[in-house]
């Protein structure tokens, strides 16, 4: 499901997000029905259950925050999405409780989804791709694929490479399994490099550390596999580099070169996995060597860091100058990160993130307890920004949660994720102590590594708002937290079959079906949550569709009958979406088309009631006030818009126009058409006409307003 939604721009759109929410809710109802039918063992337990409950509590808090949110329409949608995330963890955890191969299925799902998305991204590079201009036209050469966001594609590729790479070096797997897993690693690393996402590279490194550290004496196998695969991906990353040609992006070296690089990457990946297997078989490796290699690597890295820092300080002239230069580079002062090539990968620029983080901190400091409302950062930041850029997230999940939901929301979400991760780590340790199947141990470590990579990226980006990226990872977290640890031996000493899991040893739940206590309550709760989420997400989508249809009909130049139909659609849309502005905006446009400016003002006033802290609402009211020649009303609305958005170009222009109309020339009791004195040497016949009060005088030097002073 997550991969399917990812093909719709990562699921960021209103419709795709609603689909993800509804499908997750339906799955939770199915789980509730199974629990009510007697499969009570499906329910996650202890800390895993508490983590899911806290996630649902965070979603409930987000929905409650709609009452004071600056963008209540977006807050409802965001709260519903978080509830879907909690249900995804619940469904995955419940399935893992009764599915012996749950960990394997989860890891294969991560690999398969990454392969599909990376393959689709490479296909877009083979065909002309529409150029985008975020950060400049050159940014269009960065591979973004169906996710429509470079960093999201890079994270998906990193997680897929991490999961497939661990399977490629798993000594307990068959040769064909390892070769097939290794074959897909270089293409995904090549996709990561083509996305040019520095955050995704950092996430991959963190994931490698987490997974490798849990691999015992085989800690060096995964880093070796990823490093070799990165070398094998170089031809693909070079041939797949795009160039802007008109309004499209095409492969720099042609399609044949990209296909050749892709085939070479696949073949080399399989050969690398095979070669590592042969090395494992032929070379006796002392685990103490692993420790020595890690220490040597850490020492080399530390020396390189010290030498690099020294060279940088010398190049800048002094430590103070070096610190200032580094600070300015990170803060993106007067520049943004390079958009292509090695310069971008080596840049330390935050791409303006530090400014957005500062705005989020400022917003949180002004309302620390409850925040400004979920998904409202794009609106509230306008009161804190120092530029005219538009952004809807601060590109940091912790700061976004603090600014939008306050300390309460931050505590709920942070505690929920901490509990789920802690349970997963605790199960990993228990599996290691019990000496279970090493393949299961590797799968558990892989799931935790994928979650760690996602958490790293969420700290510096906005992937939490992309269900196509977050749902698969949260489902993996649910499996890691809830899946029981398998026993070391499936057969007891007397020859009887042992329970499938350690947790079920005392109750023999794998051989007995027992009625679930409170099963009906679980089913009722899942049904209630599903209905609430369906209404909260589907109704606004229908309303938005109706408003868009009315807008299209209006743009097509409808006649009176068409305008009447559009008005009916807008009225229904406003009822279905009681918090949004779009139905009122379209209704206001229809009223203006009909010449009913009083109705347009009524709708503009409703916009300010729905979202009183949104400068767009007040700008709309100021615009209608200007059309009605209501100078006082226009001035009041424009002042409010500027107060909410001091750097808003539209609001500033409206306020300037309102102040200019405060005392227009025709309002002066002494206004007369005084002819301007002609410049010396000007022939009288070249002078134009002068009219009555308020008229302008035309001269060879241009148009002058009566009462203005001109030089002779």
Q: How confident is the model at residue 542 (pLDDT cuts 50, 70, 90)?
A: very high
Q: What is the average pLDDT across 505-521?
A: 52
Is pLDDT above 90 for 460? Answer: yes
Q: How confident is the model at residue 333 (pLDDT cuts 50, 70, 90)?
A: low
Among 111-115, 369-373, 562-566, name the one with the lowest average pLDDT. Answer: 562-566
Per-residue confidence (pLDDT) for residue 91, from 0 to 100: 94
Q: What is the average pLDDT across 197-218?
A: 88
The closest of 175, 168, 289 to 221, measured between CA atoms, is: 168
- The pLDDT tens digits for 22-75 are 999 999 999 888 888 878 888 888 899 999 999 999 999 999 999 999 999 999
Helix then strand then coil, % of the chain, to nearest 5: 70, 5, 25
Is pLDDT above 50 for 370? Answer: yes
Q: Is 387 exposed, middle or buried (0-12, 13-18, 19+ CB in 10 A)?
A: exposed
Mean pLDDT of the chain: 83
Task: Say which residues have a Cβ less than 8 Å from residue 13's Cβ, sequence separation at least 6.
Answer: none
- The pLDDT tens digits for 299-326 are 888 888 898 888 878 888 888 887 887 7
More confident residue, 671 or 11: 11
The closest of 12, 262, 259, 247 to 140, measured between CA atoms, is: 247
Cα–chain center distance at 413: 17
Per-residue confidence (pLDDT) for residue 513, from 0 to 100: 45
Per-residue confidence (pLDDT) for residue 704, from 0 to 100: 36
More confident residue, 335 or 42: 42
Confirm if 114 and 107 have CB atoms less than 8 A apart: no
Is pLDDT above 50 for 693? Answer: no
Q: How confident is the model at residue 662 (pLDDT cuts 50, 70, 90)?
A: low
What's the alpha-carbon Rg for the chain, to the nearest Å? Answer: 31
More confident residue, 666 or 260: 260
Q: What is the average pLDDT across 205-214?
A: 91
Instruction: Return left, alpha or beta for 309; rule: phi > 0 is left, psi -120 to 50 is alpha, else beta.
Output: alpha
Backbone dihedral angles phi then psi of residue 383, each to the nearest 5 degrees:
-80, -15
Residue position matching structure tokens 């035309």: 698
Is pLDDT above 60 for 692? Answer: no
Is pLDDT above 70 for 264? Answer: yes
Collapsing DSSP to helix, strand or coil, 354 comes out as helix
Structure tokens at 334: 């007067």
Cα–chain center distance at 490: 44
């Amino acid at each position: 499901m997550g991969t399917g939604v990812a093909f719709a721009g990562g699921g960021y759109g209103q419709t795709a997000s609603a689909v993800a929410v509804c499908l997750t809710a339906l799955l939770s109802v199915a789980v509730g029905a199974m629990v009510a039918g007697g499969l009570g063992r499906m329910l996650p337990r202890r800390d895993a259950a508490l983590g899911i409950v806290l996630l649902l509590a965070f979603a409930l808090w987000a929905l409650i925050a709609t009452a004071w949110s600056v963008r209540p329409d977006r807050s409802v949608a965001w709260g519903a999405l978080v509830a879907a995330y909690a249900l995804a963890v619940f469904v995955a955890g419940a399935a893992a409780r009764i599915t012996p191969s749950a960990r394997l299925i989860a890891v294969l799902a991560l690999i398969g989804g990454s392969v599909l998305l990376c393959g689709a991204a490479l296909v877009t590079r083979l065909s002309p791709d529409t150029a985008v201009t975020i950060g400049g036209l050159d940014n269009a050469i960065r591979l973004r694929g169906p996710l429509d966001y470079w960093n999201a594609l890079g994270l998906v590729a990193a997680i897929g490479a991490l999961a497939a790479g661990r399977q490629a070096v798993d000594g307990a797997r068959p040769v064909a399994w390892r070769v097939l897993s290794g074959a897909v690693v270089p293409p995904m690393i090549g996709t990561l490099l083509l996305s040019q996402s520095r955050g995704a590279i950092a996430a991959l490194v963190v994931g490698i550390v987490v997974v490798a550290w849990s691999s015992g004496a085989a800690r060096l196998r995964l880093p070796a596999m990823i490093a070799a695969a990165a070398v094998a991906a170089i031809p693909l990353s070079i041939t797949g580099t795009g160039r802007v040609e008109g309004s499209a992006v095409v492969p720099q070296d042609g399609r044949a070169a990209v296909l050749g690089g892709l085939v070479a990457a696949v073949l080399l990946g399989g050969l690398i996995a095979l070669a590592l297997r042969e090395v494992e078989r032929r070379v006796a490796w002392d685990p103490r060597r692993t420790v020595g290699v890690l220490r040597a690597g850490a020492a080399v890295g530390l020396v390189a860091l010290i030498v690099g820092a020294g060279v940088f300080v010398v190049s800048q002239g002094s430590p103070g100058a070096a610190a200032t230069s580094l600070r300015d580079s990170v803060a993106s002062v007067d520049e943004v990160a390079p958009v292509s090539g090695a310069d971008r990968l080596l840049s330390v620029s935050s791409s303006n993130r530090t400014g957005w983080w500062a705005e989020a901190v400022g917003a949180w400091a002004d309302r620390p307890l409850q925040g400004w409302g979920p998904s409202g950062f794009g609106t509230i930041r306008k009161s804190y920004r120092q530029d005219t850029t538009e952004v809807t997230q601060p590109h940091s999940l912790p700061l976004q949660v603090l600014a939008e939901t306050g300390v309460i929301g931050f505590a709920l979400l942070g505690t929920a994720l901490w509990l789920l991760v802690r349970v997963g780590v605790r199960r990993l340790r228990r599996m290691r102590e019990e000496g279970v199947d090493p393949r299961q141990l590797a799968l558990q470590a892989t799931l935790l590594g994928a979650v760690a990579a996602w958490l790293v990226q969420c700290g510096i980006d906005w992937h939490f708002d992309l269900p196509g990226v977050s749902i698969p990872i949260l489902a993996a977290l649910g499996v890691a937290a809830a899946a029981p640890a398998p026993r070391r031996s499936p057969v007891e000493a007397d020859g009887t079959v042992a329970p499938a899991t350690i947790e079920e040893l005392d109750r023999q739940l794998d051989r007995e079906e027992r009625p679930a206590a409170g099963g009906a309550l679980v089913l009722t709760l899942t049904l209630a949550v599903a209905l609430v989420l369906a209404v909260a997400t589907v109704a606004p989508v229908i309303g938005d569709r109706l408003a868009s249809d009315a807008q299209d009909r209006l743009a097509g130049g409808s006649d009176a009958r068409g305008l009447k139909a559009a008005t009916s659609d807008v009225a229904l849309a406003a009822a279905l979406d009681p918090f949004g502005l779009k139905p009122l905006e379209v209704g206001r446009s229809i009223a203006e088309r009909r010449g009913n400016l009083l109705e347009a003002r009524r709708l503009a006033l409703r916009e300010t009631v729905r979202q009183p802290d949104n400068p767009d609402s007040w700008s709309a009211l100021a615009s209608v006030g200007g059309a009605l020649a209501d100078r006082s009303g226009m001035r009041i609305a424009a002042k409010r818009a500027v107060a909410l958005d001091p750097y808003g170009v539209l609001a500033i222009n409206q306020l300037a126009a309102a102040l200019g109309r405060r005392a227009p020339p025709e309002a002066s009791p002494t206004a007369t058409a005084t002819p301007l004195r002609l410049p010396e040497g000007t022939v009288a016949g070249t002078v134009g006409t002068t009219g009555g009060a308020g008229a302008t005088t035309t001269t060879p030097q241009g148009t002058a307003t009566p009462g203005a002073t001109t030089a002779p």
